């Protein structure tokens, strides 16, 4: 195990960071009948999920906990496993994350990384949660291949089926060993073993266990609900034998096993019987998740799903926790979450945790919304969850209305109407649609707002934006609403993207005011530098000078995503000096900044020419992907070059 210097480091960190005696005895969350208790009082919570705490920097961890605490998110569900193949990542189902891994194959069996690029990361998460007054829910393993998970165990064992994780005596032994290692680990920052740390609210046997996984290994023909239920019974008993004080959940999605069930959520096909799991003697919590988009359902079905589990949990005599939920449609997310949360509050549920909260990265930018479910805090939807947290604490729902952000895209020169109050929520008599104020800073209610980009006009609960002549790009305005008691909402933002004139070029970078964010791609070593320059300009007075030492990709992220799907070429002017250069263009597309690259060309030394890239063919992505371009990069070989007038035609 990679634990060199651990004792010395631990001693220093304990001295610097260990909690004071006054803070050293938070209580365990316990179970009393169908409810949770903390310090002898009922404990109900609204919380969130975050998967990257276990491998990101301390600054990023701190930021997430600060946001959670400010939003009264009392519980964070976060991952507690990161499994790879060999220490060099060979044989890995996934890979190390930022160089971090917890468990690896030593050639004969799984081994543990207790060092600074291993479990010391999780130590810090528990310490920071304790300092922040936030409880944790931690799964021991992931059913999916992200971070290794179940399939990494199967690969270690040379298995054929995903569900061998549940049935193989060898794998079950490895998993018990991992659980034991984690539970008995003494956190050097607190001096407390994980099993004795009340910062942890609950352990989950797995995140979303099923017969099926991510597809690397199929389910065997024999996998059934009996398979997973027997495994959960065995593992929950093992956890309790080592750690009798913490709550234990199966971590399942709440699927049913009903003869003649309509689909996979209730026909036994995933190997999950949530009722059987909840009834196990060493399982403390009924678990469910909710993703209508992924399950072929709608938001209304989500209410039925919640109500059904609340009733079944009461019959089983167990508390129920909605461990993950999400909805992709941001235009309806706020009112849908309000309805789901209301159902959970009224129905006596113990806790909810939305997917997911992310925060600032080390460079100050927000961690990207890779899967479309992220709700940042502070934000309107986060406020709706915060209000639910207050209700779960017993506060009456006497909150001001929550106005949510609205976005729309329109063609060049075309007005667009947004139903801005449709995604706002009120807690007393509904939103007064006639109360939309388009200039909250001005005295009185303003039903119109003129901007250089165009005019916003409110009519009832709708706002129409009419672009100014010749305008394309982003226009925005703030608005507030009132409820039936005339309480004022937060200010929300209306954003309208007006597409460019389809017959005109899109000017992307002119370099008239400097480098406009251009630099060598930060994943490269010694590619070179850029600077604004008046040595060459094809349009205006300034261009961009690139001094490429090692050569590489140079470019910038766009301030706003741009749609290039109606364009046929990307062009820029390039002057070469004593060296020629290969030429290629790459785009970062979509929320995941997916790389899309052109074919290669070449420009001779001592020439000035227009470099034109065909966007209709020769790209590594579909042309439709260019509807959401987030960044643009060009390849420059070693030497000094000047660029100008980057545009789409």
pLDDT tens-digit readout, 55-87: 999 999 999 999 999 999 999 999 999 999 999
Q: Are residues 178 and 239 in the same domain?
A: yes
Q: Is-catalytic flag, 164?
A: no
Pairing of strands 200-204, 135-139: parallel
Is 633 in contact with 558 (CB distance < 8 Å)?
no
398 falls within a domain: no
- The 10 Å Cβ neighbour count of residue 509 is 21
Token digits for 386? 């915060």
1 falls within a domain: no
Q: Are residues 485 and 594 in the same domain?
A: no
The model's pLDDT over 13-48, given as tens digits with 9 standing for 90+, comes to 333 334 333 344 689 999 999 999 999 999 999 999
| Whether the predicted model's global pTM rises above the 0.85 cut | no
Rounded Cα gap, residues 30 and 36, in angstroms: 6
Q: Which domain holds residue 121?
A: 6-392
So what's the pLDDT on residue 507?
Answer: 93
Q: Are residues 562 and 584 in the same domain?
A: yes
Query: Residue 7: pLDDT above 70?
Result: no
Q: State the pLDDT confidence band at 649, using cuts at 50, 70 and 90.
A: very high
Which of 184, 108, 102, 211 lies closest to 148, judged by CA? 102
Q: Are residues 13 and 126 in the same domain?
A: yes
When pLDDT is averaged across residues 81-102 and rounded to a whole number, the result is 98
Q: State the pLDDT confidence band at 358, using cuts at 50, 70 and 90.
A: very high
Q: Are residues 472 and 546 in the same domain?
A: no
Rounded Cα gap, residues 633 and 265, in angstroms: 44
The last residue of one of the domains, among 363, 392, 421, is: 392
Rounded Cα gap, residues 71 and 378, in angstroms: 7
Is 150 in contact with 251 (CB distance < 8 Å)?
no
The model's pLDDT over 146-175, given as tens digits with 9 standing for 90+, comes to 999 999 999 999 999 999 999 999 999 999
401 falls within a domain: no
CA distances from 547 to 224, 517, 542, 645 (A): 62, 16, 16, 18
Beta strands in 208-272 (DSSP E): 247-249
The H-assigned helical ranges of 163-245 are: 164-167, 169-184, 225-242
Token digits for 494? 């209306």
399 falls within a domain: no
Please tell me whether residue 505 adopts helix, strand or coil conformation: coil
Q: Structurally, how many domains does the chain consist of?
A: 3
Please tell me whether residue 435 adopts helix, strand or coil conformation: strand
- The 10 Å Cβ neighbour count of residue 53 is 24
So what's the pLDDT on residue 19?
Answer: 37
Is 520 in contact with 636 (CB distance < 8 Å)?
no
Task: Name the helix (H) or strand (E) containing 10.
Answer: helix 6-17
So what's the pLDDT on residue 412?
Answer: 94
For residue 324, give the CATH number of its domain: 3.20.20.80
Q: Are residues 528 and 470 in the same domain?
A: no
- The 10 Å Cβ neighbour count of residue 561 is 18
Out of 97, 164, 204, 208, the active site residue is 208
The model's pLDDT over 202-227, given as tens digits with 9 standing for 90+, comes to 999 999 999 999 999 999 999 999 99
So what's the pLDDT on residue 21?
Answer: 34
For residue 414, give the CATH number of its domain: 2.60.40.10
Query: Residue 4: pLDDT above 50?
Result: no
Q: Are residues 481 and 629 in the same domain?
A: no
Token digits for 214? 């991510």
The last residue of one of the domains, among 458, 479, 498, is: 498
- The 10 Å Cβ neighbour count of residue 197 is 24
Please tell me whether residue 67 adopts helix, strand or coil conformation: helix
386 falls within a domain: yes
Query: Residue 6: pLDDT above 60?
Result: no
Q: What is the average pLDDT value for the chain, to the nearest integer?
A: 95
Q: State the pLDDT confidence band at 9, using cuts at 50, 70 and 90.
A: very low
Q: Are residues 537 and 487 in the same domain?
A: no
Query: Residue 2: pLDDT above 80?
Result: no
Place of tokens 């678990």: 287
When pLDDT is averaged across residues 550-569 and rounded to a whole number, the result is 94
Q: What percent of the chain has pLDDT over 70?
A: 96
Q: Are residues 368 and 424 in the same domain?
A: no
- The 10 Å Cβ neighbour count of residue 259 is 7
Rounded Cα gap, residues 497 and 244, in angstroms: 56
**Could you say which DSSP state residue 287 is in?**
E
Place of tokens 């960071």: 17
The model's pLDDT over 423-477, given as tens digits with 9 standing for 90+, comes to 999 998 899 999 999 999 999 999 999 999 999 999 999 999 999 999 988 999 9
The last residue of one of the domains, among 353, 368, 392, is: 392
Q: Are residues 475 and 565 in the same domain?
A: no
Q: Is-catalytic flag, 324?
A: yes
Out of 97, 204, 324, 573, the active site residue is 324
The model's pLDDT over 511-545, given as tens digits with 9 standing for 90+, comes to 999 999 999 999 998 899 999 999 999 999 999 99
So what's the pLDDT on residue 25?
Answer: 65
CA distances from 332 to 327, 397, 478, 507, 541 (A): 8, 21, 19, 34, 47
Is 65 in contact with 134 (CB distance < 8 Å)?
yes
Q: Are residues 168 and 308 in the same domain?
A: yes
CA 265 remoteness from chain centre:
24
**12-26, 82-96, 613-627: lowest mean pLDDT where?**
12-26
Q: Are residues 318 and 452 in the same domain?
A: no
618 falls within a domain: yes
Q: State the pLDDT confidence band at 500, using cuts at 50, 70 and 90.
A: confident
Is 494 in contact with 456 (CB distance < 8 Å)?
yes
Rounded Cα gap, residues 610 and 626, in angstroms: 21
| 281-317 exposure pattern, b = at least 16 Cβ within 10 A, e = fewer | ebbbbbbbbbbbeebebebeebbebbeebbebbbebe
Is 250 in contact with 277 (CB distance < 8 Å)?
yes
The H-assigned helical ranges of 319-401 are: 333-346, 380-392
For residue 642, give the CATH number of its domain: 2.60.120.260
**41-50, 235-244, 335-344, 559-568: lowest mean pLDDT where?**
559-568
């Amino acid at each position: 195990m990679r634990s060199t210097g651990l004792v010395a480091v631990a001693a220093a960190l304990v001295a610097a960071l260990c909690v004071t005696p006054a803070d050293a005895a938070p209580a365990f969350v316990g179970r009393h009948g169908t409810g949770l208790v903390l310090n002898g009082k009922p404990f109900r919570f609204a919380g969130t999920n975050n998967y990257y705490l276990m491998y990101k920097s301390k600054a990023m961890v701190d930021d997430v906990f600060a946001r959670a605490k400010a939003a009264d998110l009392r519980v964070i569900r976060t991952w507690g496993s990161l499994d790879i193949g060999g220490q060099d990542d060979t044989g890995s189902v996934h890979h190390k994350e930022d160089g971090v891994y917890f468990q690896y194959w030593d050639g004969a069996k799984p081994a543990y990384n207790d060092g600074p690029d291993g479990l010391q990361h999780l130590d810090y998460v528990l310490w920071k949660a304790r300092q922040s007054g936030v409880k944790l829910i931690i799964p021991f393993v992931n059913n999916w291949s992200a971070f290794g998970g179940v399939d990494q165990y199967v690969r270690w064992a040379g298995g054929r089926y995903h569900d061998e994780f549940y049935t193989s005596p060898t794998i079950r032994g490895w998993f018990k060993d991992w659980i034991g290692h984690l539970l008995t680990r003494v956190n050097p920052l607190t001096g407390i073993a994980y099993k004795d740390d009340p910062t942890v609210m609950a352990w989950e046997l797995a995140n979303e266990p099923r017969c099926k996984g991510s597809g690397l290994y199929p389910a065997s023909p024999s996998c059934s609900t009996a398979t997973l239920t027997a495994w959960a019974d065995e593992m929950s008993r093992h956890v309790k034998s080592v750690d009798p004080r913490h709550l234990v959940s199966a971590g399942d999605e709440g699927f049913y096993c009903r003869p003649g069930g309509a689909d996979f959520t209730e026909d036994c096909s995933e190997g999950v019987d949530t009722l059987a799991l909840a009834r196990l003697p060493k399982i403390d919590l009924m678990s469910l998740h909710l993703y209508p988009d992924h399950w072929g359902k709608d938001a209304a079905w989500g209410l039925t799903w919640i109500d059904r589990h609340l009733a079944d949990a009461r019959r089983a005599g167990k508390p129920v926790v909605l461990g993950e939920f999400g909805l992709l449609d941001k235009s309806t997310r706020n009112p849908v979450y309000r309805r789901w949360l209301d159902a959970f509050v009224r129905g006596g549920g113990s806790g909810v945790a939305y997917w997911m909260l992310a925060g600032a990265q080390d460079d100050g930018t927000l961690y990207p919304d890779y899967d479309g479910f992220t709700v940042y805090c502070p934000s309107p939807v986060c406020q709706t969850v915060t209000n639910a947290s207050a209700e779960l604490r017993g506060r009456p729902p006497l909150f001001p209305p929550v106005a949510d952000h609205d976005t729309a895209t329109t063609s060049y020169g075309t007005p667009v109407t947004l139903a801005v109050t449709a995604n706002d929520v009120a807690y007393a008599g509904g939103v007064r649609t006639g109360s939309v104020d388009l200039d909250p800073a001005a005295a009185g209610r303003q039903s119109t707002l003129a901007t250089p980009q165009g005019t916003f006009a409110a009519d009832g609960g709708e706002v129409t934006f009419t672009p100014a002549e010749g305008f394309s790009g982003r226009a925005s305005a703030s608005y507030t609403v009132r409820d039936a008691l005339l309480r004022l909402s937060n200010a929300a933002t209306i954003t309208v993207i007006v597409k460019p004139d389809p017959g005109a070029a899109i000017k992307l970078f002119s370099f008239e005011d400097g480098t406009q964010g251009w630099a060598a791609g930060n994943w490269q070593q010694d590619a070179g530098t850029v600077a604004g320059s008046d040595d060459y300009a094809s349009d205006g007075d300034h261009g961009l000078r690139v001094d490429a030492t090692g050569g590489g990709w140079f470019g910038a992220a766009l301030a706003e995503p741009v749609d290039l799907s109606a364009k046929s070429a990307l062009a820029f002017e390039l002057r070469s000096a004593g060296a020629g250069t290969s030429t290629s263009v790459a785009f970062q597309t979509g929320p995941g900044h997916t790389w899309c690259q052109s074919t290669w060309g070449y420009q001779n030394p001592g020439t000035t020419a227009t470099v034109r890239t065909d966007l209709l063919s020769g790209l590594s992505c579909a042309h439709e992907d260019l509807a959401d371009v987030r960044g643009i990069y060009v390849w420059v070989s070693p030497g000094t070059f000047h660029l100008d007038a980057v545009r789409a035609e």
